[in-house]
A and B are shown apart, each in its own frame.
Chain A
């Protein structure tokens, strides 16, 4: 039995069983039982849709509280480039990194640089890789989980290059421990995250024992304090006012299509939003996209800037990142990693992930194929009888999911409000039949009794 760590949990004291989460969940992982939402951990891919859908704010993303910082001797904030898109045009990455230091981090590391290194590493890998085309970027943990759960045959298409936040975490720990003579575990590397899914990739990485990051703090939690920290700052240092020191390749990682655009990969495809990703992945499985080199897929609309823990409207964020990239393109200033250095590191295996990714297929109806086939047939038969309006009143998201829950013996067919009257009608018919029978049977006996009584 596998135990998967998940980034979302239900606060039962707040949950009113309003089923919004159940209907929106793209993998049908939520059921409402006894008036409370329950998340099936095997089916959950940590997309975070339920967090935004819940009207009672009962679904809680598991991110770290700020207090975690005190557990370390030296702390470094590593913000997702999506953070750069949360504020107005005049608030530059340099200013944001300074603001983070004022909030209590000992240092702030610009992840855009590591993103740039990884962009180059991907470029190198694309040149070598001719077998599993198209290559799918692994930065979105939800997409990685989706492939593990629903598209196990596409596992080999996922980039074997590690993600920038992990590479940055490793680098920060090594560098800081040398600089301050501390042990690596005394350095706290905290990711500033746009979504709860990244938390999972830190607490339970899909392809290694342990993450190099120590925790994740949500952009939405840090937004208010950061804004006021930056207000006090005014225009202290000159470099804060310019974006010149931002790596253009790194800026691209905040939005869908950004990596391909900044690397100038012409034969690529960008997709965001789970329903759209399913369409593209179906086509890869059918062998229709072999001519495409690279796919950027993000579970959130428009990429990480659309994450459920961001603050700014995602289309405004998209505009900001786009303008940043355009500005950097025009200026021809690219404070990016030296590609020769990257190539050296690449050939030494610096960028590659430690372990291979394994599939995580959904549990079948039964481990015994013969029984599974029988259950699948029962499910089909029951589904035909159901109203197929997917009302959800039973606590399962669709009639088909309900049929599955019934054959798995998790619920009774009588939980369906449409089946209940039918069943009641049948029962009352049976009952009245039974009554009629017993009357005609019992009557003689009844008379006897009466006779007896009379006799007494």
Chain B
């Protein structure tokens, strides 16, 4: 990430299977966005996408890192995880497709909406994965009105 006077950059570590702290990062990011006066409609989209991405790491990876940066024109989120990766990305992007275990489904997760939901909320979304190694997500939100709608 670019170290820049005008950019607020923060890095968070996510531990796989750590359900206790799952959701904390999206809450922290939401607070940063509220304090800096980002419009509520963008905050909620960012919070949902971050939460889904965070949960994906908690459920399916060993660990991961979330890079957050806020610039005057955009919010960028990048998640690198080290875990099983995704074999068939286009299948994973389909609504309703899930590899979640029954336990996760019992917990209310694994409806196969995670990745499609991130894409739906983001202005730009990029995913790449290396099976057996891990997955990288890049999520972008625009802050100027013309693109941010």
Please indicate the chain B residues that have their CB under 8 angstroms from the CB of A286 in the complex: 23, 26, 47-48, 51
Q: Which of B8, B10, B27, B143 has most A Cβ within 10 Å?
A: B8
Type the 1/0 row for A360-385, where 1 means its CB is closer than 8 Å to any CB of B. 01111111011011101100100000
Interface size (A, Cβ < 8 Å)? 25
Q: Does B79 contact A (CB under 8 A)?
A: no
Contact partner, A373, options B30, B36, B44, Cβ 8 Å:
B36
Q: Does A26 contact B (CB under 8 A)?
A: no
Interface size class of B (residues with CB under 8 A): 20 to 34
Kindly report which residue of chain A lies nearest to residue B36, judged by CB atoms.
A372
Please indicate the chain A residues that have their CB under 8 angstroms from the CB of B40 in the complex: 152-153, 359, 361
Please indicate the chain B residues that have their CB under 8 angstroms from the CB of A362 in the complex: 34-35
Q: Does A288 contact B (CB under 8 A)?
A: yes
Q: Does A387 contact B (CB under 8 A)?
A: no
Kindly report which residue of chain A lies nearest to residue B117, judged by CB atoms.
A287
Please indicate the chain A residues that have their CB under 8 angstroms from the CB of B2 in the complex: none
Q: Does A282 contact B (CB under 8 A)?
A: yes
Q: Assuming the A-B contacts A288-B108, A370-B6, are A376 and B35 also in contact, with contact meaning beta carbons closer than 8 angstroms in the complex?
A: yes
Please indicate the chain A residues that have their CB under 8 angstroms from the CB of B70 in the complex: 373
Contact partner, B6, options A150, A152, A288, A373, Cβ 8 Å:
A373
User: How far is B29's CA from A272's CA once the two chains are assembled, in angstroms?
Assistant: 26
- B34→A361 contact, CB < 8 A: yes
User: How far is B130's CA from A85's CA once the two chains are assembled, in angstroms?
Assistant: 63
Q: Does A285 contact B (CB under 8 A)?
A: yes
- Kindly provide the distance from the CB of B43 to the nearest chain A CB, expressed in whole angstroms: 7
Please indicate the chain A residues that have their CB under 8 angstroms from the CB of B38 in the complex: 369
Contact partner, B34, options A364, A367, A404, Cβ 8 Å:
A364
Contact partner, B37, options A152, A364, A404, Cβ 8 Å:
A364
- B44→A377 contact, CB < 8 A: no
Q: Assuming the A-B contacts A376-B32, A376-B35, are A370 and B72 also in contact, with contact meaning beta carbons closer than 8 angstroms in the complex?
A: yes
User: How far is B41's CA from A376's CA once the two chains are assembled, in angstroms?
Assistant: 21
Contact partner, A364, options B30, B36, B71, Cβ 8 Å:
B36
User: How far is B30's CA from A288's CA once the two chains are assembled, in angstroms?
Assistant: 16
User: How far is B41's CA from A380's CA once the two chains are assembled, in angstroms?
Assistant: 25
Contact partner, A287, options B6, B34, B37, B48, Cβ 8 Å:
B48
Kindly report which residue of chain A lies nearest to residue B108, judged by CB atoms.
A288
Please indicate the chain A residues that have their CB under 8 angstroms from the CB of B47 in the complex: 285-286
56-79 of chain B: CB within 8 A of chain A? 70-72
- B37→A367 contact, CB < 8 A: yes
- A373→B7 contact, CB < 8 A: yes
Type the 1/0 row for B17-57, where 1 means its CB is closer than 8 Å to any CB of A. 00000010011001010111110110110011001000000
User: How far is B40's CA from A150's CA once the two chains are assembled, in angstroms?
Assistant: 10
User: How far is B8's CA from A380's CA once the two chains are assembled, in angstroms?
Assistant: 10
- A372→B35 contact, CB < 8 A: yes
- Kindly provide the distance from the CB of A230 to the nearest chain B CB, expressed in whole angstroms: 49
- B5→A282 contact, CB < 8 A: no
- A373→B23 contact, CB < 8 A: no
- A285→B8 contact, CB < 8 A: no
Please indicate the chain B residues that have their CB under 8 angstroms from the CB of A366 in the complex: 37
Kindly report which residue of chain B lies nearest to residue A359, judged by CB atoms.
B40
Kindly report which residue of chain A lies nearest to residue B5, judged by CB atoms.
A374
Q: Assuming the A-B contacts A364-B37, A376-B8, A376-B36, are A153 and B72 also in contact, with contact meaning beta carbons closer than 8 angstroms in the complex?
A: no
102-149 of chain B: CB within 8 A of chain A? 108, 117, 143
Q: Which of B8, B35, B117 has most A Cβ within 10 Å?
A: B35
- Kindly provide the distance from the CB of B116 to the nearest chain A CB, expressed in whole angstroms: 12
- Kindly provide the distance from the CB of A402 to the nearest chain B CB, expressed in whole angstroms: 15
User: How far is B108's CA from A287's CA once the two chains are assembled, in angstroms?
Assistant: 11
User: How far is B45's CA from A287's CA once the two chains are assembled, in angstroms?
Assistant: 11
User: How far is B34's CA from A365's CA once the two chains are assembled, in angstroms?
Assistant: 9
13 contacts between A and B (CB under 8 A): A153-B41, A282-B23, A287-B48, A287-B51, A362-B34, A362-B35, A367-B37, A369-B36, A369-B37, A369-B72, A373-B71, A373-B72, A404-B35
Interface residues in chain A, defined as those with a beta carbon under 8 Å from any beta carbon in chain B? 150, 152-153, 282, 285-288, 359, 361-367, 369-370, 372-374, 376-377, 380, 404
User: Other CB < 8 Å A-B pairs besides A361-B37, A366-B37, 7 of them?
Assistant: A288-B108, A365-B35, A365-B37, A369-B72, A370-B6, A373-B72, A376-B36
7 closest Cβ contacts across the A-B interface? A364-B37, A153-B44, A152-B40, A372-B36, A286-B51, A373-B8, A370-B72
